Amino acid sequence: MRFHLMMLILALLGIASPSSLTQAAAQGTDRPFTVAAAADLQFAFTEIGERFEKRTGQKVTFSFGSTGNLARQIENGAPFDLFAAANEQLVERLEEKGLLVPRTRQLYAIGRIVLASSKKAGAAVQDLKGLLDRRIKKVAIANPDHAPYGFAAREALMKAGVWEKLQPKLVLGENIRQTLQFIQTGNAEAGIVALSVADVSEITYRQIDARMHSPLKQALAILKGSPHEATARRFIQFVNGPEGRPIMKKYGFLPPGKG
């Protein structure tokens, strides 16, 4: 309250501009510790976040979305403290642009993709070529232009030799959670999603051979200027430590170096 009152007085005196007010407010410690996390982490990080809060007493807020979209938000100054991506390339790009705290970038997981079928469709797809079945009208994948799991899905479909033939059937999700929802609701009879979000009652799934796509090496890093750097470091240790690692494994993630 005192901070906002002080800034208002400075603005009235012409000392602080509206833009500096907005920037100062965004960087103030009044806001909670916020993690920008890839959508494939929604189940795992929600559980880890609850455990982290109980253990440390520090509240954590998550903003889930596609890795590409979150990276763009960060480049545009979004007030996040930690970025947990679904690949390492976009984190490296942010590091090259000087947006990360030096030496905080690290791998934390290897992701997997699965071939999912909607129970409402009534026909479980057994392999990627099965997506060409006439009974499969729509096939959902995350948008490969900004979602790493969508990129991996495209690689697998291309390697299986069905990518071009599937074009009329494809439905692109904004992120992997929206892609899952298409299949859960039956709006797509089948699709490719992250193993980490596939354990839901509305679908059946089969793991896709990891050799069908590039490894989904997932990296995280602390954002430069974060007022919660100490908490961010503690959260990273928690994710990679004896309490967080079993939760990541529970949702199908492999530890770095195991993919």
In tens, the pLDDT along 163-191 reads 999 999 999 999 999 999 999 999 999 99
User: Please, what CATH class does the domain formed by 113-207 belong to?
Assistant: alpha beta
CATH code for the structural domain at 31-110+216-250: 3.40.190.10
Which residue in 179, 38, 8 sits closest to 111, CA to CA?
A: 38
Q: Give residue limits of the domains in the chain.
A: 31-110+216-250, 113-207
Name the one residue in this structure whose structure tokens are 């009534």.
122
CA distances for 155 relative to 44, 190, 197, angstroms:
25, 17, 20
At residue 46, what are phi and psi to the nearest 5 degrees?
-60, -45
Q: What is the pLDDT of residues 127-161, one digit of tens each?
A: 999 999 999 999 999 999 999 999 999 999 999 99
Bin 38: left if φ > 0, else alpha if -120 < ψ < 50, else beta.
Answer: beta
Question: Would you say the pTM of this structure is higher than 0.75?
Answer: yes
